[in-house]
Amino acid sequence: MNAQVENWVAIGPLSEIPRQGSRRVLWGQIKIAVFRMSDDRVYALEDKCPHKNGPLSEGIVHEGCVTCPLHNWVISLETGAAQGADEGQTRTFPVRVEDDTVLIAF
């Protein structure tokens, strides 16, 4: 799992993402949803539900997952995989926090 690309980009301070919430980052044409958990852990996923491309950044965040606002699919924030009986996976991006700044590797 050696990442070939180490293109870490700062996207802003952690405090700008609400806890149990999300903000969107635009990388060219790609929309990325950056989530912040109650304990400040962060995750970054393409802002696209594998079901019908619903914006995951708009979903309710709970227990390491987000529920898509369109049809209630539940997506794991860590792996991007749909939970339960649904099948599909959303692309994830490496993300980390350094000195209160959130960085994403594209």
Residue 3 or 47: the one with the smaller Cβ distance to another protein is 47
Residue with tokens 């209160």: 100
C-alpha gyration radius of the chain? 13
State the Cα–Cα distance between residues 50 and 32, nearest whole angstrom: 14
| 61 is a site residue for another protein (CB under 8 A) | yes
Q: State the binding string over 9-48 for another protein (x if CB under 8 A, else -).
A: x-xx---xxxxxx-xxxxxxx----x--xxx-x-------
Which tokens go with 106? Answer: 């594209």
88 is an interface residue for another protein by CB under 8 A: no
51 binds another protein (CB under 8 A): no
Structure-token pair, residue 78: 């860590």
Per rule CB under 8 A, is residue 89 in the interface with another protein?
no
Q: Which residue, 44, 24, 55, is CA-closest to 97?
A: 44
45 bridge partner residues: 33, 92
Query: Which of helix, strand or coil describes residue 86?
Result: coil
Which of 8, 51, 58, 105 touches another protein (CB under 8 A)? 58
- Kindly list the residues in this chain that would bind another protein in the complex (CB under 8 A): 9, 11-12, 16-21, 23-29, 34, 37-39, 41, 52-55, 58-65, 67, 69-70, 72, 74, 76-79, 81, 99
